[in-house]
């Protein structure tokens, strides 16, 4: 029996602008994860894969699923990359503790976990980069024009400075940064938020391009702040990035409420994270304020609060 897992992720800065070629920063969140287990199936045809996802209520042979089904798509893509030849039927079980449609990279993590598990089971040699590519193919199903940031940070499992179409740069981190991740409890498909920005960009590209440039400048500043271990500077960058995302109209009342609650309780900076219109926000906190900000988030309606660290 083979088992492999992949972490969740948060985008620190640069979401949406990253779809338009600007850089973004993302880090893995290991407190939540998706796992895939591969074992011999008790029965079935040669070459058969029995896909099981208790979370989705799914138990189906791969050949009975449409190839556009995300779990089928990553399984097919990985098998095509591995070319294992005829094999005894296997059972592939997928589990995840990552909330879906909430900006924590659940789709990418499930894909990466499946690709890793199949790679190990068949003795393949797929590296991080190839596994990231395979997950990227499937991200198209989740949201039409993915930048590739989710699959990259999840597959490489380390903080990355990412720009579409370029090799990801692993990030040097100068000091510990403590984050809280507050969940609005509102599931929001990334595709919808990406579409909304696309429509506004088509209507008024000059204004949107200017906003993307301002976001890009914040991303570059935040990269320096991370390198220097400068929490105040990073906090200010997060705050400004949230204001720009509000201008793009991808925040929501729930997200804004949590961001304000974090600020009022003494967070160093807070913003929505990921596609927006629901999902999660992040708050950078000192260790002294961590508990009070976490309490404030819950009082303001967060249905869940996670803690994560970005460390050297």
Which residues are tagged catalytic?
150
Q: How far is the CB of 194 from ligand PMV (least distance, A)?
A: 5
32: contact with ligand PMV by CB under 6 A: no
How many residues interact with ligand PMV (rule CB under 6 A)?
A: 16
The token pair at 147 is 């930048």
Up-side HSE of residue 127: CA atoms within 13 Å toward CB?
1
**Choice between 19 and 155, CB closer to ligand PMV:** 19
Dist. CA 182–CA 199, nearest whole Å = 28
Dist. CA 217–CA 198, nearest whole Å = 21
Which range, of 14-22, 71-79, 175-183, 198-206, touches ligand PMV by CB under 6 A?
A: 14-22
**Choice between 124 and 182, CB closer to ligand PMV:** 182
Which residue minimizes CB distance to ligand PMV?
274
CB 281 within 8 A of CB 255: yes
Find where tokens 């600007």 sit. Answer: 22
19: contact with ligand PMV by CB under 6 A: yes
Dist. CA 27–CA 195, nearest whole Å = 24
28: contact with ligand PMV by CB under 6 A: no
Distance of CA 160 to the CA centre of its chain: 12
Residues in the chain: 312
Dist. CA 146–CA 67, nearest whole Å = 19
Question: DSSP letter string over 222-245?
Answer: HHHHHHHT-HHHHHHHHHHHHHHH
| Contact string 138-177 vs ligand PMV (x = CB under 6 A) | --------xx-xx---------------------------
| Contact string 87-116 vs ligand PMV (x = CB under 6 A) | ----------------x-x-----------
**Choice between 38 and 154, CB closer to ligand PMV:** 154
DSSP letter at 94 equals: E
Positions in 193-222 near ligand PMV (CB under 6 A): 193-194
**Residues near ligand PMV (CB under 6 A):** 11, 15-16, 18-19, 103, 105, 146-147, 149-150, 190, 193-194, 274-275
């Amino acid at each position: 029996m083979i088992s492999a897992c992949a972490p969740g992720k948060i985008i620190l800065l640069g979401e949406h602008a990253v779809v338009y070629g600007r850089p973004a920063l993302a880090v893995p969140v290991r407190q939540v994860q998706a796992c895939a287990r591969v074992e011999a199936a008790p029965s079935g045809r040669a070459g058969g894969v029995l896909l099981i996802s208790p979370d989705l209520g799914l138990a189906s042979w791969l050949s009975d699923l449409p190839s556009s089904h995300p779990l089928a798509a990553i399984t097919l893509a990985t098998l095509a990359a591995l070319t294992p030849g005829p094999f005894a039927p296997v059972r592939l079980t997928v589990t995840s503790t990552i909330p879906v449609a909430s900006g924590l990279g659940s789709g990418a993590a499930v894909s990466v976990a499946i690709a890793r598990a199949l790679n190990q089971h068949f003795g393949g040699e797929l590296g991080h980069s190839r596994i990231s590519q395979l997950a990227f193919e499937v991200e198209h199903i989740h949201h039409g024009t993915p930048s590739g940031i989710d699959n990259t940070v999840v597959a490489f499992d380390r903080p990355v400075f990412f720009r579409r179409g370029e090799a990801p740069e692993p990030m040097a981190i100068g000091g510990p940064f403590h984050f809280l991740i507050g969940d609005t409890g509102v599931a929001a498909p990334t595709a919808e938020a990406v579409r909304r920005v696309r429509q506004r960009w088509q209507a008024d590209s000059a204004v949107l391009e200017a906003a993307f440039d301002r976001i890009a400048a914040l991303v570059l500043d935040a990269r320096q702040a991370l390198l220097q271990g400068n929490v105040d500077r990073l906090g200010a960058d997060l705050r400004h990035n949230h204001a720009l995302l509000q201008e793009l109209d991808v925040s929501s009342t729930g997200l804004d409420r949590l961001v304000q609650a974090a600020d009022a309780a003494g967070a160093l900076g807070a913003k929505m994270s990921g596609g927006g219109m629901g999902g999660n926000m992040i708050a950078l906190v000192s260790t002294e304020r961590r508990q009070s900000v976490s309490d404030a988030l819950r009082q303001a309606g967060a249905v869940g609060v996670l803690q994560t660290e970005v460390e050297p």
